[in-house]
């Protein structure tokens, strides 16, 4: 897919020479064409038909268990892993040279073994419980097969980084007695380690639990929403609201991508969905290829931190912290809005700096017309918010009924009505989209299982504190760097789980609220999608814009700079996450944070009323950093810097106009 995206020009994907935005049908056709040349198989014939219905059956199983309740924990999780592995070996060939049309015989063998694993666990569940801690030979063989298949599937779906890390930790668990210093432990035999992997602290641990419940259902929800026309609705609504303002097309991208990303929680999917519309529009209005791609990728990644749904890792955070998902939503809302405020401010300043205008009003849809035609698609989102915050039901039950309501609401108007075939397609798409996430969660379970068995996480946490010399800011920087390094090769969910397991306890020991510590790790794990050399969201956006992928990645980081500062803000001021604060306390911290974000925009873009000199940019950056610490004097200093920057720039601007 990456090569395809990099090579496409706007003309080649269905846009005319003026870079007119694609229609929804053209965008879907383009995505189907990209999918044909991606790493997944393009199945044909009876195999395609069987695979399609297998995906639907998998979705129906998860919907049924969401409504009626799940089997015992190990049975449910093992069946989920078995189904995801089975689908994965059919979808993904062994390497790039393998056939994309036929399933190799050895993949059918792997498929059969993947199915056999949960069958064995279901048939021997009672005996497995009795033998816990004392596995027999067959238990060890089955667990070995599950671990090997999980690592191989992760290699095919995510690359070598995550499975290599899993193999390193397996070796660490077995040979740990030979290591020096703090990393030495008693060492374990493979049967002992396999017993852990088969339980709820290994492959079938917390991450798989979340994947088998929350993540699967919300991915299906996103697929259903997409099939109902929600993406086009958000594009039209954003165009009507912001299209005519300065930098209007870029603001359209930010708003549309934020709205859609908050529902589907996938950065790359969001880029190729909304970007097919917004990127050509930005280029037509004068934005460079790299900046257009950067706006789209930055806004799309932000959807993973924006409620109500956010990214899949948010559900894992709720499970690890043992809190309701509604609390995660409350904690996340103000920092996420600050992130988007930072992007909007930079877009506005860039538009004023370069003289870019918006789309003429007579070429834009009217809000009233958009709402009349597709406004009813907001009802499922409102229903989800009600279910999460006010119904008193579980998140899983809420997700199930929201999917049902989405389908029913789509029938209100013919233009959005989902046919039985469309519904089945959405269920099949949901299952396929879950496979990479579920396999990554299973693989990271191996790593977390070794952490629990050997005490590695505790040792690393102490090492981070020691390395940071018990300094909070240094420990935060080390945690951020760890997240970014992991994110270069590991998907964002495993990156968050690993970092949260190691660093979050270390931060808590330094007096940081556990919620803030986990949210800090969560943010930087998500931003790995933007940071070169591996920036999947930015590369996908570069493919659509025709720009240079690396330049797009660096532009994305520049646009998202507020997102790199905001986590430090809420660590030092938990009131920004509405933790242990009053209404007025939260309002004060939010107001100063907004000032800080505005100063960051001025410092990065080098513009306010007119071009800013270097010392003004440095002054603005210093003011923003001062506002990280919520103390009275630092707040006053930051506000003073804002006043000084505004006055300086206004005076310079007036002088330039008088001389012109």
User: Do the beta carbons of residue 281 and residue 314 sit within 8 Å?
Assistant: no
Which range marks the domain in which residue 641 is found?
581-660
| Residue found by looking up tokens 């270097």 in the block | 614
Instruction: Give the residue among 447, 340, 126 at the shortest CA–CA distance from 348.
Output: 340
**In the structure, what pLDDT confidence band is assigned to residue 108 with cuts at 50, 70 and 90?**
very high
Structure-token pair, residue 28: 């879907």
Specify the pLDDT at position 55. 96
Give φ, ψ of 210 to 5 degrees: -70, -40
Q: Calculate what percentage of the chain has a pLDDT beyond 90.
A: 30
Region 134-138: mean pLDDT is 89
Is residue 487 located within the same domain as residue 628?
no
- Checking if the pLDDT of 325 tops 80, the result is yes
Partnered with residue 607 across adjacent β-strands are 611
How far apart CA 226 and CA 239 sit, in angstroms, is: 18
Cα-based distances in Å from 168 to 142, 243, 629? 21, 51, 39
Residue 256 pLDDT: 84
On whether both 548 and 585 belong to a single domain, the answer is: no
If one counts the domains in the chain, the total is: 2
Query: Using 50, 70 and 90 to split pLDDT, how confident is the model at 225?
Result: confident
Co-location of 533 and 610 in the same domain: no
> Residue 630 pLDDT more than 80?
no
Give pLDDT, residue 660. 64
Same domain, 626 and 530: no
Taking alpha carbons only, the member of 302, 259, 250 closest to residue 279 is 250
Same domain, 604 and 554: no
Range with the lowest mean pLDDT among 172-186, 440-454, 587-601? 172-186
Helix (H) or strand (E) holding 555: helix 549-559
Copy the structure tokens of residue 133. 């801690």
Other beta carbons within 10 angstroms of residue 490's beta carbon come to 29
> Do the Cβ atoms of 515 and 577 come closer than 8 Å?
yes
- Whether residues 570 and 589 share a domain: the answer is no
- Region 24-35 average pLDDT: 48
Higher pLDDT, 439 or 304: 439
Whether 37 has a pLDDT exceeding 60, the answer reads no
Summarize the confidence of residues 242-265 as an average pLDDT. 81
Distances (CA, A) of 490 to 148, 318, 482, 556: 18, 21, 12, 19
Q: Which residue has the higher pLDDT, 120 or 470?
A: 120
Average pLDDT over residues 583-593: 86
| C-alpha triplet 640, 643, 646: angle, nearest 5° | 145
pTM (two decimals): 0.83
Per-residue tokens: 215: 């993540």
Q: Is the pLDDT of residue 15 over 70?
A: no
Q: What angle do CA 282, 286, 290 make, to 5 degrees?
A: 65
**Could you say which of 548, 580, 612 is where a domain stops?**
580
Q: Residue 465 has which token pair?
A: 């504190």
CA dihedral 37, 555, 533, 302 (to 10 degrees): -70
Q: For residues 235 and 256, is the Cβ–Cβ distance under 8 A?
A: yes
Point out the least confidently predicted range of 33-37, 375-379, 419-423: 33-37
**In the chain, pLDDT over 70 holds for what percent of residues?**
93
Rg (CA), the chain: 25
Going by DSSP bridges, is the β-strand pair 610-611/607-608 parallel, antiparallel, or unpaired?
antiparallel
Nearest partner of 378 among 579, 249, 230, 212, judged by Cα? 230
Of the three residues 526, 546, 580, the one that is the final residue of a domain is 580
Same domain? 632 vs 546: no
For residue 107, is pLDDT > 90?
Answer: yes
Map tokens 């959807």 to a residue: 303
C-alpha of 420 from chain center: 30
How high is the pLDDT of residue 244? 79
Same-domain check for residues 467 and 363:
yes
Residues 530 and 594 in one domain: no
Domain boundary among 580, 605, 629: 580
Confidence of residue 117 (pLDDT cuts 50, 70, 90): very high
More confident residue, 462 or 428: 428
Contact (CB, 8 A) for 249 and 358 = yes
pLDDT at 3 exceeding the cut of 50 = no
The reported pLDDT for the residue numbered 379 is: 92
Tell me the pLDDT band of 38, cut-offs 50, 70 and 90: low
Do residues 511 and 619 share a domain?
no
Do 187 and 163 lie in one domain? The reply is yes
The residue among 512, 513, 557, 591 whose CA lies nearest residue 334 is 591
CB 151, CB 446: distance < 8 Å: yes
Distance of CA 614 to the CA centre of its chain: 35
Q: What is the pLDDT of residue 360?
A: 79
Residue range 65-71: mean pLDDT, rounded: 90
Residues 224, 287, single domain; the answer is yes
307 backbone φψ class: left, alpha, beta (φ>0; ψ -120 to 50):
beta
Residue 4 has pLDDT above 70, yes or no: no
pLDDT at 248: 81
The mean pLDDT of 609-638, rounded to a whole number, is 87
């Amino acid at each position: 897919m990456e090569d395809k995206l990099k090579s496409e020009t706007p003309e080649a994907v269905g846009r005319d020479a003026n870079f007119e935005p694609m229609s929804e049908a053209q965008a879907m056709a383009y995505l189907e064409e990209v999918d044909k040349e991606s790493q997944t198989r393009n199945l044909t014939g009876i195999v395609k038909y069987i695979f399609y219905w297998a995906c639907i059956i998998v979705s129906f199983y998860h919907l049924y268990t969401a409504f009626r309740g799940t089997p015992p924990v190990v049975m449910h999780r093992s069946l989920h892993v078995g189904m995801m592995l089975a689908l994965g070996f059919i979808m993904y060939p062994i390497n790039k040279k393998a056939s994309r049309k036929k399933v190799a015989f050895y993949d059918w063998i792997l498929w059969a073994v993947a199915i056999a694993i949960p069958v064995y666990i279901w048939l021997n569940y009672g005996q497995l419980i009795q033998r816990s801690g004392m596995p027999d030979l067959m238990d060890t063989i089955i667990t070995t097969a599950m671990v090997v298949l999980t690592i191989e599937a992760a290699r095919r779906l995510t690359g070598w980084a995550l499975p290599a890390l899993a193999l390193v930790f397996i070796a660490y668990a077995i040979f740990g007695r030979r290591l020096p210093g703090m990393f030495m432990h008693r060492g374990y035999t493979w049967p002992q380690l396999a017993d852990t992997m088969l339980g709820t602290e290994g492959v079938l641990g917390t991450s798989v639990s979340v994947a088998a419940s929350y993540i699967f259902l919300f991915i299906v929800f996103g697929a259903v929403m997409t099939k109902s026309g929600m993406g086009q609705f958000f594009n039209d609504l954003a165009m009507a609201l912001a299209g005519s303002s300065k930098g209007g097309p870029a603001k359209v991208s930010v708003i549309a991508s934020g709205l859609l990303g908050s529902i589907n929680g996938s950065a790359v999917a969001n880029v190729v969905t909304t970007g097919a519309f917004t990127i050509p529009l930005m280029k037509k209005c004068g934005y460079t290829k790299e900046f257009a791609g950067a706006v789209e990728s930055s806004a799309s990644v932000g959807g993973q931190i924006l409620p109500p749904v956010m990214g899949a890792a948010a559900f894992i955070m709720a499970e690890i912290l043992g809190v309701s998902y509604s609390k995660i939503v409350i904690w996340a809302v103000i920092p996420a809005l600050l992130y988007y405020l930072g992007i909007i401010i930079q877009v506005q300043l860039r538009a004023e700096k370069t003289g870019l205008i918006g789309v003429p009003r007579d070429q834009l849809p009217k809000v009233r017309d958009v709402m009349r035609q597709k406004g009813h698609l907001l009802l499922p989102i409102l229903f989800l918010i009600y279910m999460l915050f006010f119904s008193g039901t579980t998140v899983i039950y809420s997700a199930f009924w929201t999917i049902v309501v989405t389908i029913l609401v789509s029938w209100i108007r013919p233009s959005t009505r989902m046919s039985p075939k469309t519904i089945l397609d959405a269920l099949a798409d949901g299952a396929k989209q879950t496979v990479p996430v579920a396999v990554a969660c299973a693989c990271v379970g191996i790593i977390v299982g070794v952490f629990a068995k050997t005490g590695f996480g505790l040792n690393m946490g102490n090492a981070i504190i020691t390395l940071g010399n018990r300094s909070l800011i240094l420990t935060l920087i080390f945690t951020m760097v760890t997240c970014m390094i992991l994110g270069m090769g590991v998907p964002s969910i495993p990156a968050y789980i690993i970092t949260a397991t190691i660093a979050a306890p270390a931060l808590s020991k330094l007096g940081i609220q556990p919620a803030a510590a986990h949210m800090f790790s969560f943010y930087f794990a998500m931003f790995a999608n933007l940071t070169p050399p591996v920036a999947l969201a930015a590369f996908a956006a570069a493919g659509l814009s025709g720009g240079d992928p690396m330049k797009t990645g660096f532009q994305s980081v520049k646009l998202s700079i507020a997102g790199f500062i905001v986590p430090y803000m809420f660590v030092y001021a938990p009131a920004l996450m509405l933790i242990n604060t009053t209404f007025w306390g939260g309002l004060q911290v939010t107001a100063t944070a907004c000032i800080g974000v505005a100063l960051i925009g001025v410092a990065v873009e080098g513009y306010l009323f007119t071009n800013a000199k270097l010392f003004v940019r440095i002054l603005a950056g210093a003011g923003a950093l001062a506002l990280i610490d919520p103390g009275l004097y630092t707040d006053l200093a930051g506000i003073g810097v804002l006043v000084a920057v505004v006055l300086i720039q206004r005076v310079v601007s007036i002088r330039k106009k008088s001389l012109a």
